[in-house]
Amino acid sequence: MNQRMGRMKLTIDEKSQAWFEEEMGVSKERGVRFLGKVYGCSPIHEGFSLAVEVDTPNNPFVSVEKNGITYFVETGDEWFFQGHDLDVVFDEKLKEPSYSYRAIQTA
C-alpha cells in the first residue's frame, strides 16, 4: 500500500522489491532510500542522478512498505523529485530495477 505524504507517489513492483531484499540486504529495520546525488544525469536533472542506499527512515517525505521493508524519500531529498512520482519496475533484460519519473498530474 502506498502512503502519500505531500504530493509525490512512490511505487515499487514485486520483482524490484525481491531484488532489493536479495541484492542489498535490506531488513525491517533498514529500508531503501531514494535520493539525488551530485554528478551524473537523470531525465529530470542535469548534473544530478538518482542514488539508492540502505538506510533507516528518519523523517520520510513519502514512503511505501512492501514485505515489511520501507522504501522512502526523506524530507530534504524531495527537491530531486519535485513535481514527479517515482516508479521502480524490474527490468528483465538488465535483471535489476529501473527507475522512471512521471510528472504529477494536478487536478
In the 8-state DSSP scheme, what is residue 81? G
Query: Exposed, middle or buried: residue 58 (CB in 10 Å: 0-12, 13-18, 19+)?
Result: exposed
Along the 107 residues of the chain, how does pLDDT read in single tens digits? Answer: 344 444 899 999 999 999 999 999 898 889 999 998 756 555 565 656 788 999 999 999 999 999 999 999 999 998 888 888 999 999 999 999 999 988 887 65
pTM of the model: 0.85
Contact 83, 74 (CB under 8 A): no
Cα–Cα distances in Å, from 94 out to 20, 28, 61, 87, 89? 14, 27, 29, 17, 11
